[in-house]
Amino acid sequence: MIDALGLFGTAAATGKPVGEDLMARKAATVLVFAREGADTARRRQLARLDRLPELRQSDVDTYLEIIAATGAREQAERLIERRLRDGRTAFANVALPDGVRQRLSHLADLCGDRDK
């Protein structure tokens, strides 16, 4: 699964080249959002990119431009925030052994942190 950090972060932060997940054709919610928000011309560009047997850096750059232009990145980040909030709400009032709530909260923080 591709996340925003893997697309828009830095190689120093992720430990791999930016866009590598796109080149590997990993599943991406952000691409679904981009397709939904794309106009006809951008949908055609996405379809062309999807058919390419291999992606060059310029192809990754085109994907990133479309993702940015359609607001897909922000949409994906809002989805992440909503899911984190829902998860925290789900365990907020559940009886849990000592320390479990804190560990779950810490795990949620790690999952939602798009800087590391």
- When divided into structural domains, the chain yields a total of 2
Q: What percent of the chain has pLDDT over 70?
A: 91
Same domain, 15 and 30: yes
For the whole model, what pTM was predicted?
Answer: 0.78
Rounded Cα distance, 32 and 67, in Å? 10
SS3 category, 103 = helix
DSSP character string of 6-51: HHHS-HHHHSS-TTHHHHTT---HHHHHHHHH--HHHHHHHHHHHH
Same domain, 65 and 25: yes
Average pLDDT across the chain, whole number: 86
Q: How far is CA 44 from CA 13, 34, 38, 112, 113, in A?
A: 32, 12, 9, 32, 33
Question: Residue with structure tokens 């909503």?
Answer: 82
Q: Which domain range does residue 93 map to? A: 76-112
Same domain, 89 and 68: no
Same domain, 61 and 104: no
Same domain, 28 and 58: yes
Same domain, 53 and 81: no
Q: What is the pLDDT of residues 86-99, one digit of tens each?
A: 988 888 888 988 88
